[in-house]
Amino acid sequence: MKGLNAAHASPTAFANAAPNSRVGMIASYMDVTASLQDQTDRMAALEALVDLTVPTTEDFVAENLSEDATMTAEEIAEAIDALDPESATYDADVAAIAAALSGLDPADEANTDALAGLADAISGTVEAQDQQAEIAGQIADLAVEIDDTRSDQLSALSEAYAPHDVKDLTNESLAELHGLLGLSDESIPDVTAEISDALATDEAPLAGSE
């Protein structure tokens, strides 16, 4: 690992290294890679929460729409999407949608259980959709963070390996580097990727030595 022998430095050396020294630059690479590992772990946890069985509003309405419904499928779908769980009239709004969806008369006690079950299904679907929307937003935000961190990681590696070209590094040498630094193989960077222009122009010249 020409240029990266400083990876053999002790934890104390890493902690006390000047930022622009070879050891300091490898320490910076280690820190940003650890951040990337944390982000990818968080992404895996979020992706595990994605539930593809949660129906869209249109699918839910199509599955539950009665021939006796008092509103069209489009009108009911719009009403469901407009529901606000924080509203003081939420329960009443859900009950009204259940009645419209089923065509059952809420004044008839014989329909109480059926309407209650349908109302629960509507509320459960709305809650599940809201949860999935929040998860999707978190995944999108984290994906942007991960892309930025990958650029930071490659920039840090380029600085630590200068004046050599990181594209000359093999997967074997990168795996060895990660092993020395206590980093996972899963976080090995794609050295063929392009560093963003902003990061590339910010690269500092190597001022230290091993």
- pLDDT tens for residues 87-112? 999 999 999 999 999 999 999 999 99
Q: Band the pLDDT of 201: cuts 50, 70, 90.
A: very low
Close Cβ partners of 210 (under 8 Å, ≥ 6 residues apart): 5, 6, 22, 23
Q: CA angle at residue 110 from 105 to 114, to 5 degrees?
A: 75
- pLDDT tens for residues 146-199? 999 999 999 999 999 999 899 999 999 999 999 999 999 999 999 988 665 444
Q: Band the pLDDT of 2: cuts 50, 70, 90.
A: low
Assessment of whether the complete model's pTM goes beyond 0.75? yes
- pLDDT tens for residues 124-158? 999 999 999 999 999 999 999 999 999 999 999 99
How far is the first Cα of the chain from the last one, in angstroms, to the nearest whole number?
A: 13
**202 has pLDDT over 80:** no
